[in-house]
Amino acid sequence: MLGKMVSMGFELATLPARMTLRGVRAAVAAPGDVGYFMRELRLASDEVAREVQQVLAAVDAEMTQKAAHLDPVQKQQAAELALGAAEQHLSMAAVNVLRALWLQLDAGRSLQEPGREGVVIEHER
């Protein structure tokens, strides 16, 4: 009797996982669904490729026009300045992502722990 109860408990406990596995197998086994998924994936990747090509073409056209009067040394100096600016922007973006993550996590804690003081974040320029 005890063995049957343990067995039944195990069956009930693993039921959601087994149902999920069966559902995934059925979805993957259905050729129409996989074909639809592959078509959507191809369309999305083609769209991204087109957008990347457009951005590259726009940057190429812009920089060809703006840097036409610069000699190679000046272009190298401008490249170093641009890389420095990009590094600062990316570093600040990373800090802002961490701040947003911290705020999101703290907001969840604050909802659970009433009475905590708010946080003021200063913006760096």
pLDDT in tens, 49-107: 888 889 889 999 999 999 999 999 999 999 999 999 999 998 999 899 899 888 888 88
Q: Are the beta carbons of 9 and 3 closer than 8 angstroms?
A: no
Element (H, E) at 19: helix 2-29
In whole numbers, what is the pLDDT of the chain averaged over residues? 76
Report yes or no on whether pTM surpasses 0.75. Answer: no
Of 101, 95, 102, nearest in space to 123 by CA? 95
- Name the residue ranges covered by the structural domains of the chain: 1-66, 70-125
| pLDDT higher than threshold 60 for residue 42 | yes
